[in-house]
Amino acid sequence: MKKNILDAAVALALGATASAAWAQSAPPLRISLTADIRSTEPGVNRDSNSDAVVLHIVEGLVAYGEDAEVRPLLAKSVDISPDGKTYTFKLRDGIKFHNGKPMSSADVLWTWQHYTAANSGWRCASEFDGRGAVKVTGVEAPDAQTVVYHIDKPSSLFLATLARADCGGTGILSKDSVRADGSWDKPIGTGPFELAEWKRGEYVRLTKFAGYSNLDGKRDGYTGSKRPLVDEVRFLIVPDDSTAKAALQRGNIDIIEDVSNSDVPVLQATPNVKVAHAPVMSMTALLMQTKDTVLANPKMRQALAHAIDYQQLAAAVTEGLAQPNNSIVPLVSPYHDAAQKQGWNYDPALAQKLLGEAGYKGQELTILTTKRYPQSYNSAVIIQAMLQAVGVKAQLSVVEWATQLDRYNAGTYQMMTFPYSARLDAALNYEMVTGDKAKQPRKVWDNPAALKLIETASADTDPAKRQASFDQLHKLFLADVPSIPLYNGLDIGAYRGDIRGYQPWAVKKPRAWEVERVAAP
């Protein structure tokens, strides 16, 4: 019954789309979302779907590139003072809002005041008022094309935080985005598409911004070339995966932006459907409680690390799409370099030798996992078999996700397979696993030297110096083995054969720009 209701709802939405298509020169680009957006205000009452839609409408001074490195967007240049505490943004010329008004530094100041006003609801206000990585001590506009931000201390994370998707990319807004009483109306930004209609529970309709000021060059994440090549985009709300898949196969949806690994073979075999994928910044890892009596010995942890065939594991759980990665730094990060490519070699004989040196006496080791995340669960099953093959008495404990999360936060486990969500800077990747276990039991790596290196990498703005810190961190991590990174996640998208230009990417959000409909093959 539930599926029939979903099918009917999708049919209504698709029917509305088809009717609109007759009135246009070309049908809209139809992209499925698993749930409705929460709001249209950047970084306010938001979720991942809200961010994905809003970032087609608004743009910030800087944005993440294809490799998740921050680059200019509305700014044409960013100058950092020698002391690292003053950022001067020169704005690009000729930028217009969707209402036709030119954008200037005054709009940047107004937008900042709007986001940071008391009770604004902006998710990232705490990131800039001293509670987060930095404190913005002042913002000024010496002329119409210049904006200057002052922060209290050097930070390599300032620009990265401005660009964050959950901050709405700190998108610059026209004052007309709010009503006369100051309440939110709708986003009037500078992006390639503008908001036309939000029919709650059914679809969000965007239309091409004819006055969009495009950057030259190729597509590059949220920056680079972002030409709107279709007149209309419809984000259709399709909560049921099987309904979305059937609609794609029938040609009633053009793009599914988040395909599960298990659906890949079916869709690859479907006529006129294509599948594409890209590595993302999320990570699945085997966590080990270093305060456990058995696992406290580094040689024991080293033994476990050498008992796992990472190539086989990654291929098995991702339908052969993902590559293994033993580094905390994701494969797609610009800081994943020669040092990060070094990992633990699969060597069962060495694993058994290290077990003996660690004094392992056949004690049971429990791997906690959950079926909520199939890849994580399947990883646990495979790891259990590989550990048993070298003589480790490994057993599984399968629990509900809420229980596993509670145990993770409390640090009450021996081992667990755990899916970390994406962090878009290498320092933040290390920060999510490193800390004082007495104060933060969820942390897996309690190493003072590592904490100092992370602090250094978070302050340095010189990429070469940051790379040196991350290289040292990786070497320390391989020696300590507080956990075992296994592989990074994937952004898998499926689309109709007449769609050209759609590409998944590191941030795992759909992009409708540079996408067009062509004659069917």
Per-residue pLDDT tens for 293-336? 999 999 999 999 999 999 999 999 998 999 999 999 999 999 99
pTM for the structure as a whole = 0.84
3-state secondary structure of 191: coil
| Strands laid side by side in the 393-398 sheet | 193-199, 203-208, 232-237, 29-33, 255-256, 483-496, 273-288, 415-420, 364-369, 393-398
Instruction: Return contacts of 371-377, CB within 8 angstroms, 24+ apart.
Output: 371/398, 372/400, 372/401, 372/404, 373/401, 373/419, 374/260, 374/261, 374/262, 375/261, 375/284, 375/317, 375/318, 375/419, 375/489, 376/284, 376/417, 376/418, 376/419, 377/417
- Token match 């609109």: residue? 20
For the stretch 375-420, pLDDT in tens is 999 999 999 999 999 999 999 999 999 999 999 999 999 999 999 9
Asked whether residue 364 carries a pLDDT value surpassing 90, the answer given is yes
Alpha carbon distances (Å) from 412 to 81, 246, 315, 402, 405: 46, 43, 30, 14, 10
For the stretch 73-97, pLDDT in tens is 999 999 999 999 999 999 999 999 9
β-bridge pairing 393-398 and 415-420 = unpaired
Asked whether residue 216 carries a pLDDT value surpassing 90, the answer given is no
For the stretch 150-183, pLDDT in tens is 999 999 999 999 999 999 999 999 999 999 999 9
Calpha distance 256→206 (Å, rounded): 17
pLDDT band at 25 (very low <50, low <70, confident <90, very high): low
CA triple 38-39-41, angle to 5 deg:
145
Query: Residue 187 phi/psi, 5° resolution?
Result: -75, 120
Asked whether residue 19 carries a pLDDT value surpassing 50, the answer given is no
What structural domains does the chain harbor? 29-272+497-517 (3.40.190.10), 281-490 (3.10.105.10)
